[in-house]
Amino acid sequence: MNSITKKFYLDIEISKGMKVLDVGCGKGATTELIAEIVGENGKVIGIDSNRNALYRAEQNINLNKLKNINYICADLSNLDIENNKFDAIVGRRILKYLPDPKSSIKQLSKLLKPSGVMGFQEHDSTNLINDEKMPLHSKVNNWIRKLV
Ligand SMILES: C[S@@+](CC[C@H](N)C(=O)[O-])C[C@H]1O[C@@H](n2cnc3c(N)ncnc32)[C@H](O)[C@@H]1O
């Protein structure tokens, strides 16, 4: 999955020296991919509301001696980083967990530089077989949604 994600970041033209916001970064897998692309003159801020996930993410940056990542524990519905402007804002598997993704995207867009880009990588479940025919699948899907 990370190779597809990396291609996606390159396709939306994330590049060396950029300042990027990774929303719903979890344990930092995506944040580290971005850190590699933007390089030492770039910067990535990863945001997640789950402290435990961020603790794991912090451990990885220490282990891999990554100097261009900062993690912030915050809820996307209540972000207080107004003074920051980003070249790119990205997220992977986050929109489906937000109660009002449209309004979150609108809020996040205020943090973009004028020429900035925003890109989200989400599962496309529109081609799934009708959920009603798979009650167990639907039940497990709801459990995962609640858990995250
Ligand atoms: C499925 S994980 C994806 C993690 C990471 N983006 C990845 O692809 O590896 C979803 C993440 O979104 C975070 N999340 C969900 N709702 C959030 C919110 N309102 N504000 C901040 N983070 C949130 C969860 O804590 C979780 O770490």
29: three-class secondary structure by DSSP: helix
pLDDT digits (tens, 9 = 90+) for 75-130: 998 887 777 899 999 999 999 889 899 999 999 999 999 999 999 999 876 666 66
Q: Which pLDDT belongs to residue 129?
A: 65
Residues whose CB falls within 8 Å of the CB of residue 2, separated by 6 or more in sequence, listed in order? 29, 30, 33
Q: Which pLDDT belongs to residue 22?
A: 98
Q: Which pLDDT belongs to residue 64?
A: 78
Ligand 1 pocket list (CB less than 6 A): 24-26, 29-30, 48-50, 53, 75-77, 92-94, 97-98, 148
Kindly report the pTM of this predicted structure.
0.89
Share of the chain above pLDDT 90, in %: 68
Domains delineated in the chain: 2-147 (3.40.50.150)
Model confidence at 134, pLDDT cuts 50, 70, 90, reads confident
Q: Which pLDDT belongs to residue 97?
A: 87
DSSP strands (E only) in the chain:
19-23, 43-48, 69-73, 86-92, 112-121
Q: Provide mean pLDDT across the span 12-36.
A: 97
Q: Which range is least confidently modeled, 37-41, 56-60, 63-67, 99-103?
A: 63-67
Mean pLDDT score of the chain? 91
Distance from the CA of 115 to the center of ligand 1, in angstroms? 26
User: What is d(CA 76, CA 79) in angstroms, rounded to the nearest whole number?
Assistant: 5
Q: Which pLDDT belongs to residue 128?
A: 67
Instruction: Choose the residue to mutate in 49, 81, 98, 122 for probing ligand 1, maximizing ligand atoms within 8 Å of C-beta.
Output: 49
Q: Which pLDDT belongs to residue 63?
A: 81
User: Which residue's structure tokens are 């809820």?
Assistant: 75
Say which residue, 140 or 38, is predicted with more confidence. 38
Nearest CA to ligand 1 atom 12: 24
Q: Which pLDDT belongs to residue 104?
A: 93
